[in-house]
Chain A
Amino acid sequence: MTKAIISINHVTKDFGSVRAVNDANFEIAEGEFFSLLGPSGCGKTTLLRILAGFEVPSAGSIYIDGRDVTLLPPNHRPVNMVFQNYAIFPHLNVASNIAFGMRRSGLSKAELAERIEEMLELIRLPGYGERGAHELSGGQRQRVALARALIKQPKVLLLDEPLGALDKKLREQMQIELRQLQQQVGITFVFVTHDQEEALTLSDRIAVMSQGDVLEISTPGELYEAPRSRFVADFIGTMNFFDCIVGDYRGGVLSADSAELGPVRVACTTPPAAPGEGFVLAIRPEKFQLVFDDAGASANTVRGRMGPSAYLGDRSHFYVYLEGRNEPVSVALPNLARSLDRIRGVDQEVWLTWPEDAAVLLPREE
């Protein structure tokens, strides 16, 4: 990892009896696109506001660019923020909004005007300087908020769900623009979102939070393919969980037994627990294969009944009911030609199979 621009040292924040952030302890590297991801109320905004200087942590310290800023007020920090509602100043036009933070920059009027024009160019709103704040659409407000922060050339840009207020199409377009912009200016972005797809698309690394705890910090690929806890596995994408008992471990392959799946074989470097103890096997919907002929009773094969299905254009989702399991298993298959034409509908007998390296091993949680 390159040099750390932000280091968060055992930061805790209490609001009265509510613990919004619990012992957050990690670093963010220079130039990184770093996301804070988690469900509503998990403390993402609070952690971001601590970085911006709007909240003082109850315990712990914050270093930005090697300097202890824990008690530094927001106007003295080398970071800028894009607010969730953009907070565009209503009494100023676009140019004055962008120039707001440049009062003490020491630039001449002409230089400043030039910088503003550059920023308008960057956010692809050239010639919008004279527009009033109330004459902008949601996406334009968002870009003005970006320009207003970026013109200060901060070490770190903090963004609190900046795309939350936009409709789906515009959001996807802005995601691409945001990512391009970040690579163009090379500034570290700390990005708050509760949308896991958005986090996966944009980020270099993601911190998943739940109820104030930072559960896991990984790259999008690792989070999806090898989550380290049941919460993360469940929160990111869809996941099927099965309780299993550890059996033999030989040659990098674990044999285990599951009441719902029968005998199971999983490739892993270390067994998740001692023989005879329980663990959780997690399998993504798209790792399964559907077989329509009797596949026999081998490992990693289980018989089931078709449940309801949904056609999603490029792929289809199926529910498959297993004997001895209440909730159905989610299965996702690409809509390739011929692959699905043997599906007869609900209650058809099918078999699910999956490769040895397709499953994730998780510790059993009480």
Chain B
Amino acid sequence: MAATRLKLNGLGLYAIAYLGFLYLPVAVLPVFSFNDSQYVAFPLKGFTLRWYDELADSYGLLNALGNSIRVALCVSVLSTVLGVFAAKAVTRYRMHGRGGLIGFIMVPLVIPEIILGISLLMTFSLSDVRLSLVTVGIGHLLLCVPFSMLVLISRMEGFDRSMEEAARDLGENAWGTFWRVTFPIIFPGVVASLLLTFTISFDEFVLAFFLSGSDATLPLHIWSQLRFPERLPSVLSLGAIIVVASTIVVFVAEFVRRRGVQLAPPRA
């Protein structure tokens, strides 16, 4: 298939301006993370790896990063597991009040996080639960399950339930049917849900602000460091690493998704 030549008309210029607006701020991160100066200002001074060195020694930052990764991992796995079950229940069983139930679960999507944060904080303190990463995780879970459900419900609805019936018919029990048919077919959705919820939890600020107690997550730590100008460059270097890492993850996920599209059964 021949690619159509990109013409530089109005629409093309708009597209370039848009991409510039999207990526220029992101490009600032790596550029200044190698800049041999404490201050984020032009002209650039010289090349250095100093900030990356400093990053390796900055205990608070690494600790916060570790916290965020741990919370995000737990939250993404848990919310995806819950999402799979919920999506299966919603799409595969005849239920009364199905629409109402879905709406009810989706509510956290539209409640402002600050309200959610305050109400969770009140709930935890009323029930004498000590604030920690666990409470942050619970808050994030509340936020992430609806996203997992959205992704997985559309994946579940996209494939014919006669696949699962065929597996039962060929002698598999419910458990075997899930692992040998349902899971492989919804796998791209599972990956999408894991990535999405990991990202949501990883950079979530408001709920973490209310619920973290003394264990800072990465966004909280960065926020607290912005008061000290000399710490900023190593925050930049961390930012650059995260940008590169997430780019790789997105590419991998896209690859998995494409494979999934290829494997998807033809729609009736």
Stretch at the interface among B105-113, B142-150, B243-251, B259-267: B259-267
> Do A87 and B163 contact each other (CB < 8 Å), given the known contacts A74-B168, A100-B180, A134-B263?
yes
On chain B, the residues within 8 Å of A80 by CB distance are 169-170
* Bound-complex Cα distance A54 to B180 (A): 19
How far, in whole Å, are A104 and B181 apart by their CA atoms in the complex? 16
Interface residue range, chain A: 20 to 34
Contact call A81/B262, Cβ cutoff below 8 A: no
- Do most interface residues of chain B lie in helix, strand or loop, or is the interface mixed? helix
Interface residues of B in 138-191 (CB under 8 A from A): 159-160, 162-163, 165-173, 176, 180-181, 184-185
Q: Which residue of A lies closest to B259 (CB)?
A: A91
Q: For the complex, what is the distance from the CA of A133 to the CA of B184, rounded to whole Å?
A: 14
Contacts of A85 in B (CB 8 A): 160, 162, 268
Measured in the bound complex, the distance between the Cα atoms of B168 and A74 in whole Å is 6
* A104–B265 touching, CB < 8 Å: no
Q: Does A89 contact B (CB under 8 A)?
A: yes
B262 touches A89 (CB 8 A): no
Tally of contact residues, B, Cβ under 8 A:
24
Tell me if B184 and A148 are in contact (CB < 8 A). no
A52: interface (CB < 8 Å): yes
A52 CA / B263 CA spacing, docked (Å): 27
Contact B170 A100 (CB under 8 A): yes
Q: Which residues of A lie under 8 Å from residue B173 when comparing CB positions? A: 73, 75
Q: Is the CB of A91 within 8 A of B263?
A: yes
Given A81-B166, A87-B165, A89-B181, CB of A101 within 8 Å of CB of B171: yes
Which residues 78-109 of B sit at the A interface, judged by CB distance below 8 A?
Answer: none
Contact of B170 with A152 in the complex, beta carbons under 8 Å: yes
For residue A83, CB closer than 8 A to chain B, the reply is yes
Q: How far is B184's CA from A75's CA once the two chains are assembled, in angstroms? A: 20
The answer to whether A83 touches B263, judged by C-beta atoms less than 8 angstroms apart, is: no
| A52-103 interface with B by 8 A CB criterion | 52-54, 73-75, 80-81, 83-85, 87-91, 100-101, 103
Is the beta-carbon distance between B172 and A75 smaller than 8 angstroms?
yes
CA gap between A184 and B63 in the complex, in Å: 71
Cα–Cα distance between A149 and B181 once the two chains are bound (Å): 16
Residues of the B chain whose Cβ atoms lie less than 8 Å from the Cβ of A73: 168, 173
Using CB atoms, name the residue of chain B closest to A80.
Answer: B169
B48 to chain A, nearest CB (A): 50
**Interchain CB contact under 8 A, A91 and B184:** yes
B167 touches A100 (CB 8 A): yes
| B169, B171, B185, B265, most chain A CB atoms within 10 A | B169
Q: How far, in angstroms, from A74 to B176 measured CA to CA in the complex?
A: 13
Known interface pairs A90-B263, A91-B184, A100-B180; A83-B165 also in contact (CB < 8 Å): yes
By the criterion CB–CB under 8 Å, are A101 and B170 in contact? yes
Contact A91 B185 (CB under 8 A): yes
Q: Which residues of B contact A52 (CB under 8 A)?
A: 169
Contact across chains for B171 and A152 when beta carbons are under 8 A apart? yes
| Cβ contacts under 8 Å, A75 to chain B | 168-173
CB distance from A6 to the nearest CB of B (A): 16
Report the bound CA distance from A90 to B184 in whole Å: 9
Residues of chain A lying within 8 A (CB to CB) of residue B169: 52-53, 74-75, 80-81, 149
Nearest A residue to B164 via CB reads A87
Q: Which residue of A lies closest to B159 (CB)?
A: A90
Chain B residue at minimal CB-CB distance from A92: B184
Question: Which chain A residues border B181 with CB–CB below 8 Å?
Answer: 89
Complex CA–CA separation, A301 to B264 (angstroms): 63
Complex-state Cα separation, A74 to B172, whole angstroms: 9
As a 0/1 sequence over residues 128 to 156 of chain A, the CB contacts with chain B under 8 angstroms (1 = contact) are 00000110000000000000110010000
| Pair B170/A148 contact, Cβ less than 8 Å | yes
On whether A89 and B165 interact (CB within 8 A), knowing A75-B171, A80-B170, A104-B171, the answer reads no
Residue of A nearest to B176 (CB): A103
0/1 interface trace, chain B 229-268, chain A, CB 8 Å (1 if under): 0000000000000000000000000000000001111101
The interface residues of chain A lying within 8 Å CB-to-CB of B268 are 85
Shortest 4 CB-CB distances between A and B: which pairs? Answer: A101-B170, A87-B166, A87-B162, A91-B184
What are 29 sample pairs from A and B whose C-beta atoms fall under 8 A apart? Answer: A52-B169, A73-B173, A74-B168, A74-B169, A75-B169, A75-B170, A81-B169, A83-B165, A85-B160, A87-B162, A87-B163, A88-B265, A89-B166, A89-B181, A90-B159, A90-B265, A91-B263, A100-B170, A101-B170, A101-B171, A103-B172, A103-B176, A104-B171, A133-B263, A133-B265, A134-B262, A134-B266, A149-B170, A152-B171
Q: A75-B170, A81-B166 are in contact. List 6 more A-B contacts (CB 8 A).
A: A75-B168, A75-B171, A87-B166, A100-B170, A133-B265, A148-B166
Interface residues of A (CB under 8 A from B): 52-54, 73-75, 80-81, 83-85, 87-91, 100-101, 103-104, 133-134, 148-149, 152
